[in-house]
Structure 1
Amino acid sequence: MNIDHEQVAKRVIELSGGKDKLNREMDGKLEKITEKWNQDVDAIGRILRAHLFVEHFVTECLLSFNPKLGDIKEARLTFAQKITLIESYSEETKELSKGIRRLNKIRNQLAHNLAGTVTDQDKESLLSVTSFKALRNELAKPGVPSDDNLVVLEDFAKHVGGRLASLADPDSLAKRFEQVFNELDNKT
């Protein structure tokens, strides 16, 4: 079939109500497309980096807890499934999982609406992980830690990465946290 593209273009313009109407329609659609393209790439990158960073350490933790697990990549577990598997390992992973789930929710929202946003509610959810908030506050003294939502998200990701990486190391920070939790349990 031999198509006359010039005739096709003329007919499309005609069906659209003329050149001016078609141009306005196309400009409106281009504006919507451009709006979706012109997102805050810095925020998007920071959210994705935090999520990928935490997922790396969640996976590392899974392998450490279960040395005979096999090829975890072949299992094609979702991030949420990985969190479910590690959260029952200890009180520490259980506590961290609430914030990790919130980080996953933030990343999923990004995937669905292309907007890199960390809300005040997201920040408060991450700060509700009490060991994170307390350590963050203590490390910032005599100052105070940043209140910026994205900074809190990144600080949380680094905190989780460090804590999960430590769980695999017997002489780690995680063991010190575990010791403190055990000491507190023994006092009650």
Structure 2
Amino acid sequence: MNIDHEQVVKRVIELSGGKDKLNEEMDSKLAKINEKWNQDVDAIGRILRAHLFVEHFITECLVSFNPALGNIKEARLTFSQKLTLIEGYSEETKELARGIKRLNKIRNQLAHNLSGTVTDQDKESLLSVMSFSTLRDELAKPEMPSDDNLVVLEDFAKHVGARLSSLADPNSLARRFERVFNELANKT
């Protein structure tokens, strides 16, 4: 079937109420499309990088905790499923999981509304992971660490990556945290 595209276009213009109406409608739709397209790509990239970074180390931990697990990529586990599997490993992973869940929520919001935003509430949730917040403050002294929401998110992701990546090493920072958690838990 041969379609006369000139006839199609003429009829669409007619059905739209004329060229001016069609141009007006198309401009309006293009403005809405551009609104979604013209997002803060720096913020979006930083959020996605933090999420992917943390997921990498969750996967690494999962494999380390379960050496006979097999090919984890073939299992096609979601981020949340992987987190659930490592969350109960120790008091340390349980504590980190609270902030990791918030990071996942931030990333999921990004996926649904295309807006790269880390709110003050998100920041406070990440800072409520006390081992992260306290270590971050101590390491920054005598200065104060950045209060920027995206910087806090990135610092949290790096903290999680460092702690999860060292869980397999008995002399690691993560193992020292675990030892202190266990010592304090046994005192109560």
**TM class by smaller structure:** over 0.9
Unaligned runs of 5+ in 1: none
1:52 pairs with 2:52: yes
Q: Partners of 2:181 and 2:147 in 1: how far apart? A: 28
Whether contact under 8 Å (2:13, 2:22) holds in the other structure is yes
Other-structure match for 2:39? 39
1:153 pairs with 2:153: yes
Unaligned runs of 5+ in 2: none
Other-structure match for 1:92? 92
TM-score of the two chains, using structure 1 as the length reference: 0.98
Other-structure match for 2:128? 128
Give structure 1 regions of 4+ aligned residues with deviation exceeding 6 angstroms. Answer: none
Other-structure match for 1:142? 142
Q: Partners of 1:97 and 1:179 in 2: how far apart? A: 18
Other-structure match for 1:25? 25
Whether contact under 8 Å (2:90, 2:178) holds in the other structure is no
Q: Partners of 1:27 and 1:63 in 2: how far apart? A: 52
CA RMSD in angstroms comes to: 0.8
Aligned length: 188
1:104 pairs with 2:104: yes
TM-score of the two chains, using structure 2 as the length reference: 0.98
Other-structure match for 1:63? 63
| Helix, strand or coil at the partner of 1:139 | helix
Using the TM superposition, give the Cα deviation of residue 86 of structure 1 relative to its aligned residue in structure 2, in angstroms: 0.3
Other-structure match for 2:79? 79
Using the TM superposition, give the Cα deviation of residue 183 of structure 1 relative to its aligned residue in structure 2, in angstroms: 2.7
Identical counterparts, % of pairs: 85
Using the TM superposition, give the Cα deviation of residue 179 of structure 1 relative to its aligned residue in structure 2, in angstroms: 2.0
